[in-house]
Each structure stands twice: as C-alpha cells, then as structure tokens.
Amino acid sequence: MRTRREFIQHLTVGAGILPFAMSTDAFGMSSPSVYIPQVQDGPVLKVALMGLGSYADRVAKAMQDCKRAKITGLISGTPSKLQSWGETYNVPDGSRYNYENFDAIKDNSEIDAVYIITPNALHHEQCLRVAAAGKHVICEKPMSINAKEGKEMVDACAKAGVKLLIGYRMHFEANTLNVVNMRKNGDLGDVKFFQGLSGFKIGDPTQWRLDKDLAGGGAMMDIGIYAINGARYMVGEEPIWVTAQEVKTDPVKFKEGVDETITFQLGFPSGAIASCLSTYSMNYLDKFFLNGDKGFAEMQPSTGYGPIKAWSHKGDITLPHVTHQTTQMDQMAAIIHDDSKPQIPVDGEEGLKDMKIIDAIMLAVKSGQKVKLDLA
C-alpha cells in the first residue's frame, strides 16, 4: 500500500515544483485541473521557532516529515519549554534563546529563518528584530494588528534584504488549489458570488485571543482572516469596497475592541460579490462556496487542519490529505532557497493586503458606510 507521500509523488510529472494531476468529473471525463505542490531537492531551510505554544507544537511535529525544512533553533520566554523542546528536537543550548537575547541569532549560522508564532500584537516588533539580525521571517497570520505595522514589517525586511513570508498554509493545500484552478480554467464560467463562513465558539475567557492588547481584536483577526484571504484567492480579484456589521451578545466576554461576530461584504471589479461571516460564538462554520454562471465549487471544511472536503458541479474533489504545515514549510524552503513562485502568493505584500481589508472592515463597522479599498 502506498503512503500519501508516495501517492503524491506518483502523480508528479518531472521535477517541477507544481506538477499536473488529473481529476475526474461526474461524467467520468478526466481533465487537468490541479497542480499538486511538490518541491525539488535542494538546501534544507534551518528554522528557529519563536513562541512555543500549541500551534508551534503542531508545526514542529509536522516539520518532522519535511524534506527541506528542519528545526534548528528555539525562542521562548519559558525556560522549561526551551529545555524540553530542545531535548525533543535536538536543538543545542547555543541555539535556544529568550525574548530578551534572541537578537544574537545574527551570529548563528545554523539559523536561516525564524517562524514567529506568538500573539498577534508581538509580531511587528519581533519581525523587525529578526530582520535586523539578517534572518528571513516567516510570520503567522495575521501578520500584524493593522496595515501600518504590516507595511513597516514589509519595509524592514526589504531593507535588510531578507524574505518575509506569511503562514498561509491553505495556499499550498491540494484540494484548495484544485478549486482555484477550476476557476482559472473557466470551469465555473464568470464568477458571480463567494461565501466564506469562518468561526467557532471560543472557550477560556482569559486566553490571549480575547485580550485586545495581545490579539489586536477578536474573531476577525483570528478566524475571519481566512474568509478575507479566501475570498481573494477564490474569486481571483482584489476587492474594491467593503461593508460590515457587528453583533455582540456577550460584552463581558468580548470587551471593547474585541469583536464577537462580524458579517462583511466585499465587492470586486468584475461585479462579483462576497458575503462572509467571522465569529467566536458559533461552531460548524468552516465553509467556502464559489458560484459562477457555469458551475460551482464548495468546500466544508475549507480551512481547518484537514482533511479538506470539496466538491463541485462536476463531482467530488478527492485529492489526498497531507499535513498542511509539512507542505507549507517545504514550500517556504523552496521560496527562500530557490526563489520559487507559489501559485498563490504568501509574501509580506499578500499579508499586508489582508490587513488593509481588516482595517477597512473595522472602519465600516464604526461608520456604517461602504468603505473603498485600494490594495494596489
């Protein structure tokens, strides 16, 4: 029996980074519709993980299956985590840092890049420090708490001559790319409508995600960004206006500046529209729906850790599940070392566009007016 990795390799053609695969529609007709992410052999990206919380744990475990990325450094404010993680992932004492002394990575040749996986409000300062140390930056989304900080991050990395990549794992997920390619190939016709539902019922009221000073907001920063980003790559255009409405049912749990539920609408140059929901008060909301004048594609779950489930007017989309963070880190190694170009961008400019949209959504909530967008 083949492993998932072997199955994907079997589908590849040559040594290209994004080889063709075939899909079968509801009438049994095969047609080329997707490129499955596949990296060429090459230098291994040596990564320091910053912020050793639950998501970093998921990333670290996924990286054990990477071909071209490995953990070579750790940054944390908790000494016991540095000790236990160092032993688990064979990171020597000299490559373990805290938040006060991590600027010393400048002199560590065993670190090429730092993956920032800390609370949102810390990303900006930490990114600037990593860039100043001459290391590439991989930053978890959202890249910052507003567009101003995001632009400063982009500029700092450009000035330092290092790459800034954002942790958009879905940009490399095979079923997602299948739907995007269906749209590009004209299978859906002219896109008219996108729906993105992103939400879950949040638990512990004392966690950092409900602390405005650390999170920079509430559900929109954490989960709503998936619908924002998804609308852009699914429709294949940049929005030119936004309207938005907020509902708050629990002002004790969701204090001032921490959004509970926001519905928002995006308008695109072609006339396509998007209707989206971001919430911390409802479960079972992980759905994308893309509608054109010739067909549709639907995904549910659409952005969870997988497996992603998708189907269209042509039938089920059933490409094999590979751990998202494994694919992401291998692909980011290729971007940094090979200057490869992903089908959907993951650079700092991509992250900045999402921050501009979030800023506009919050302005639309406050003003009750349609807000124009300029993402150029």
By annotation, the residues acting in catalysis are 141, 226
What is d(CA 72, CA 46) in angstroms, rounded to the nearest whole number?
A: 6
What whole-number distance in Å separates Cα of residue 152 and Cα of residue 351? 12
**227, HSE (Cβ side, Cα atoms, 13 Å):** 32
Cis peptide leading into residue 251 (ω within 30°): no
Give the integer Cα–Cα distance in Å for 191 and 183: 8
Q: How far apart are CA 114 and CA 164, in angstroms?
A: 10
Q: Is 15 helix (H, G, I), strand (E, B) or coil?
A: coil
Q: Which residues, listed in sequence order, are joined to residue 297 by a DSSP beta bridge?
A: 290, 312
Q: 219: closest CA among 265, 247, 261?
A: 261
CA atoms of 280 and 284, how far apart (whole Å)? 11
Q: How far is CA 210 from CA 15, 303, 358, in A?
A: 45, 21, 17
At position 313, the amino acid (one-letter code) is H
